[in-house]
């Protein structure tokens, strides 16, 4: 377990140009693709101007549980999906919305010393194709999809004071433009309390710190699930039900029922892939046939 953890923490995997170049990955994990992985994701950085000239204050990301904003909105009233390119309703895979690769089951605000605060999310990824994309770091950078009832102009705030800054959603756009520099400084939009809708894998994130921090916080669990007689993934990872329970509750922050649901979903995803693609998914050997991948995701929507 320690050796595998050190491997993931120390190495930066090169982006392979073809599936056959994944030898360094398959040597570490074997050919069998895991049923599910639990990546740690840096979703968005607080108090930082993004490349889209938006700014998410720490207070807006923290939100108010009673109002369903901020961190709470990642898992209530439902667990937000992990998708690609913010495609919630069409334009990808033949005009349909992207089927979720998984959903977020844990979210928190990280406050490291002498560093920026950021939103941490831990989803359960059960899509075989997405699992390999994450493990090989082709899926690496991410972007937050959210909504808010409050957007304020940084220049108007400088002129009027924060308490009097107009909410553009209520009163309409001001005369300042994002990305332009005025006497008061750079213009950007200050985002109010957010409601998370999804998190997407993207090629060009607006927040250059947003991305996968660790491909799987349950490395040992993922490595041990294939070819053993353990009752659950956690039992296999920890060799005891007591430590399995601690891992589930403290690291993944999900109930037993939720965890069992995740693993059942993973088994259904595997069956859907085998049905559509015609082969058992193995690390480094997934098909790149676009039609088969499209068929897999269409089949996946039925589960």
Whether the per-residue pLDDT at 69 is higher than 90: the answer is yes
Helix (H) or strand (E) holding 43: strand 40-45
Tens of pLDDT, residue by residue over 205-236, are 999 999 999 888 765 555 444 444 445 544 54
Predicted pLDDT of residue 262: 87
Q: Quick one: which of 244, 246, 300, 233 has its CA closest to 273? A: 300
* Mean per-residue pLDDT over the chain, rounded: 81
Task: DSSP for 64-118, please give it.
Answer: -GGGT-GGGGGTSSSPPEEEETT-SSSSBTTTBPPPPSEEEEEEEEE--TTS--E
- For tokens 């959210």, the residue is 146
Q: What is the mean pLDDT of residues 48-56?
A: 97
Whether the per-residue pLDDT at 20 is higher than 60: the answer is no
Q: How confident is the model at residue 98 (pLDDT cuts 50, 70, 90)?
A: confident
Question: In terms of DSSP H, where are the helices of the chain?
Answer: 2-10, 23-29, 58-62, 128-135, 154-160, 168-171, 219-224, 233-238, 241-247, 256-277, 290-300
A 10 A CB-CB count for 269 gives: 27
- Higher local confidence (pLDDT), 99 or 14: 99
CB 85 within 8 A of CB 98: yes
Q: How confident is the model at residue 128 (pLDDT cuts 50, 70, 90)?
A: very high
Token output for 263: 């693993």
- The SS3 of residue 59 is helix
Predicted pLDDT of residue 236: 47
What pTM did the predictor assign?
Answer: 0.82
How far, in Å, CA of 101 to CA of 266, rounded? 10
- Higher local confidence (pLDDT), 117 or 292: 117
Q: How far is CA 299 from CA 20, 291, 293, in A?
A: 27, 12, 10
How far, in Å, CA of 48 to CA of 54, rounded? 8
């Amino acid at each position: 377990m320690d050796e595998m953890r050190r491997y993931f923490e120390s190495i930066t995997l090169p982006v392979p140009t073809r599936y056959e170049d994944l030898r360094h990955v398959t040597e570490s994990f074997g050919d069998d693709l895991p049923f599910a992985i639990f990546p740690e994701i840096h979703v968005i950085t607080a108090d930082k101007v993004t490349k889209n000239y938006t700014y998410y204050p720490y207070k807006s990301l923290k939100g108010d549980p009673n109002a369903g904003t901020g961190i709470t909105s990642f898992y209530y009233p439902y667990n937000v999906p992990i998708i690609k390119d913010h495609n919630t309703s069409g334009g990808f895979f033949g005009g349909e919305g992207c089927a979720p690769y998984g959903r977020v089951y844990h979210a928190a605000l990280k406050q490291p010393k002498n560093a920026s605060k950021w939103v941490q999310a831990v989803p359960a990824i059960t899509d075989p194709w997405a699992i390999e994309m994450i493990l090989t770091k082709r899926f690496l950078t991410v972007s937050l999809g959210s909504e808010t009832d409050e957007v304020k102009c940084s220049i108007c705030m400088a002129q009027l004071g924060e308490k009097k800054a107009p909410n553009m959603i209520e009163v309409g756009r001001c005369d300042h433009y994002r990305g332009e520099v005025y006497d008061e400084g750079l213009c950007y939009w200050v985002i109010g309390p957010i409601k998370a809708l999804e998190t997407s894998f993207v090629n060009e994130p607006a927040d250059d710190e947003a991305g996968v921090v660790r491909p799987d916080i349950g490395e040992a669990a993922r490595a041990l699930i294939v070819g053993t007689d353990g009752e659950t993934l956690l039992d296999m990872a920890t060799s005891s039900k007591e430590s399995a329970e601690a891992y589930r509750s403290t690291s993944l922050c999900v109930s037993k029922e939720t965890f069992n649901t995740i693993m059942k979903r993973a088994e259904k995803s595997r069956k859907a892939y085998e049905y559509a693609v015609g082969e058992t998914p193995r690390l480094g050997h997934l098909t790149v046939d676009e039609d088969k991948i499209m068929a897999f995701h269409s089949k996946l929507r039925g589960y």
